[in-house]
Amino acid sequence: MADIEGDDDEDDIPTSVRAASISEVNERTRLISESSSHVTQYTNQVYDDVPAIASAPPNGDANQHANDDVYEEISQRRANGGVARSMSTMTTKTETPDYHYEMPPLKYTDIFPSLLNMWALLIKDLLKLVRNPGLTLFQFLLPVVEVSLFFLAIGGPPRNLAVAVVNNDAYAAFNLSDIYLNQIDDSMISQKPVDTYEEAFADIRQSGKYWGIIEIPANYSHYLIQRVVQGNAVDNVTLFGSTVRVTMDATNQQIAVSIQTALLAAYESFVDVVLTSIGVNPAVAQIPIAFQEPIYGEVDAPFTNFMAAGVILTVIFFHAVALTSMTFVVERKEGLLDRIWVAGVGPGEVSIAHVMTQFIIISVQIALVLVFTFAVFDIPNEGSLFLVILMMMLQGLCGMALGLLISAFCDSESTAIQLALGSFYPLLLLSGVVWPIEAMPEPVYYIALALPQTLAAEGIRAILGRGWDMSYFEVWIGYLTTTAWWLVLLTLATIVLRVRR
């Protein structure tokens, strides 16, 4: 009945009304289709406009003209209908727009450092020192400890060297062998009487009990007198019987040389005592070579005086390297370096600020090292103390520049430590600190001359030992090479820091 009633109702609708309803439905369908088309076109146009918007400079009064050009381009694209894309193309778009960025304009601080920025960095570094008083005190005192250990352990004569003595001389009337043995320096050589040469030799071979053997032949006193009396008529038996034979354990060259020197000096003293006792001028038996008073230095100057100049420079130089070789590595790891770049600080300002901070520590270290070198250990200084201080400061700056360069290159603490330690021994051994560079092969000699410490150490030796000043080539060339190395290393550190920024 409902269908019949519905059919009856539909048949009752006038034809004009039915036509009007169909026309209204068609119009609404057209409007919806046009709206969908406009949405698709607008969305596609947005994709076209993104590169232009992204490449536009930021808003501002100075960039307003550039913004107007960008939006004018967008409007022109919209007026031309844009690029027709289907809805499926729009939703599956994966290509990356080609962005173009403009370099920021060159600022004053890009060429010249900002004093305000450097002051802020200096305060930051000083606060680190103040907040770590234990570490700061350790940095101040460590060079003093190292220099003190050097002067206490290096250059002094060896003591209590056990030497076996086999005295076969039984000439009781005038025993010359006892007189000779009494002239030996007991503080250096500790005489150990042994019955036979074979026994002493076995002790050295089996246990290294002695550093050498002094063997005095039988009837030594008699043969020595006959040797003097007979003169040119002396025979080989007399020569052999009047000779003291010394057998050394030469594995330690320095100890062997010290024993030889002590025994020769004892024999010279022995000859003086014997000849004086019989009324003969002792100069008759001396070697006819007379060493006069040295022009510079002392005859018996210890080896410490030679090494002192190089050691004090080396201590300051490598402590400066150690202070700065971890600087950028730690700040980069903590994120502090990135915050510095974001704040607008330049690499040159960072390098200079670190040098200024570490120079304060270096100055205290230099003062303490010089006090212990000249006042406590009494190292002679014949020249200007100001020139010595100036050279040590330049060496400290050079070491800091090398440390900053290492720190700028490295990303981890282990790498920085390896590079810093790896540079220590080559510079120490090739700079003439331990041994004169004149003993090196010729190619190595010229390499050593180009190192930052070689000529500097020679200049300090000339100041301390000879009293020379800046008018001598050997002195001012050391200052020149040190300054050149400092500037080159600091420039390289700044460049590397800027490149890796």
User: How far does Cα 171 stand from its chain's mean position?
Assistant: 65
Q: Of 285, 316, 335, which one is at a domain's C-terminal end?
A: 285
Let me know: does 187 contact 159? Beta carbons within 8 Å: yes
Residue 51 has pLDDT above 60, yes or no: no
| Whether residue 252 sits in one domain with residue 165 | yes
Residue type, 181: L
Contact yes or no for 361/140 (Cβ under 8 A): yes
pLDDT at 259 over 70: yes
Do 268 and 332 belong together in one domain?
Answer: no
Which of 101, 124, 144 is the C-terminal boundary of a domain? 101
Q: What is the CATH number of the domain that holds 216?
A: 3.40.190
Say yes or no: 318 and 268 in one domain.
Answer: no
> What percent of the chain clears pLDDT 90, i.e. is strictly above it?
41
Please give the tally of structural domains in the chain: 3
Question: With contact defined as beta carbons under 8 Å apart, do 346 and 110 qualify?
Answer: yes
Q: What is the structure's pLDDT at 17?
A: 46
> Which one is predicted more confidently, 110 or 226?
226
Q: Which of 256, 285, 314 is the last residue of a domain?
A: 285
H helices within 155-295, ranges in order? Answer: 176-182, 197-207, 220-230, 236-241, 253-277
The pLDDT assigned to 34 comes to 61
> Do residues 490 and 378 share a domain?
yes
- For every residue of 25-45, DSSP letters joined together read HHHHHHHHHHHHHHHHHHHHH
Half-sphere exposure of 263 (CA within 13 A, CB side): 22
Q: pLDDT for 307-360, tens place per residue?
A: 999 999 999 999 999 888 887 787 778 788 778 878 778 777 887 888 888 888
Q: Are residues 313 and 165 in the same domain?
A: no
Q: What is the pLDDT of residue 93?
A: 46
Q: List the one residue out of 483, 436, 432, 174 whose CA is nearest residue 314.
A: 432
Residue 99 confidence class, pLDDT cut points 50, 70, 90: low
Answer whether residue 292 is part of any domain. Answer: no
Q: pLDDT by residue (tens digit) across 289-319?
A: 888 888 998 888 888 888 999 999 999 999 9
Domain co-membership, 38 together with 170:
no
Do 176 and 219 touch, CB atoms closer than 8 A?
no
Residue 129 and residue 272 share a domain: no
Residues 130-149 pLDDT 10s: 888 888 888 889 999 999 99
Higher pLDDT, 452 or 497: 452
Question: Are 142 and 184 in the same domain?
Answer: no
Q: Is the predicted pLDDT of residue 387 greater than 50, yes or no?
A: yes
Q: Which of 180, 327, 380, 173 is nearest to 264 (CA)?
A: 180
**Residue 435 within any structural domain of the chain:** yes
CA 277 to chain centre: 61
Q: Is residue 441 part of a domain?
A: yes
Note whether residue 458 is domain-resident: yes
Residues 405 and 326 in one domain: yes
Cα–Cα distance measured from residue 51 to residue 100, given in angstroms and rounded to the nearest whole number:
9
What pLDDT does 164 receive?
96
| Domain around 218 | 161-285
Could you tell me which residue, 67 or 382, shows the higher pLDDT? 382
* pTM assigned to the model: 0.69
The pLDDT of residue 148 is 92
Residue 278 lies in a domain: yes
pLDDT value at residue 412:
85
Q: Does residue 7 lie in a domain region?
A: no
Which of 165, 157, 418 has the alpha carbon at shortest distance from 302? 157
User: Cβ neighbours of residue 491 under 8 Å, at least 6 residues apart?
Assistant: none
Whether residue 255 contacts residue 248, with contact meaning beta carbons closer than 8 Å, is answered with no
Selection from 91, 119, 266, 243 nearest residue 188 by Cα = 266
Residue 9 within a domain: no
CA distance 468 to 473: 10
pLDDT at site 4: 41
Which pLDDT does position 485 carry in this prediction?
A: 95
Question: What is the reported pLDDT for 174?
Answer: 75
Within this chain, do residues 147 and 171 fall inside the same structural domain, yes or no? no
Please give the share of the chain, as a percent, with pLDDT higher than 70.
77
- Pick from 82-91, 232-241, 343-352, 445-454: least confident: 82-91
The verdict on 136 and 96 lying in the same domain is: no
CA 287 to chain centre: 49
Is residue 175 located within the same domain as residue 147? no
Average pLDDT of 217-241? 88
Contacts of 230 (CB under 8 A, 6+ apart): 238
Q: How confident is the model at residue 3 (pLDDT cuts 50, 70, 90)?
A: very low
Residue-level pLDDT at 6 = 42
**Does the structure show a pLDDT above 70 at 286?**
yes
State both tokens at 235. Answer: 């025979």
pLDDT of residue 68: 57
pLDDT tens digit sequence for 443-475: 999 999 999 999 999 999 999 999 999 999 999
Q: In Å, what is the CA distance from 452 to each residue of 9, 88, 113, 397, 401?
A: 112, 70, 27, 11, 12
pLDDT, position 10: 47
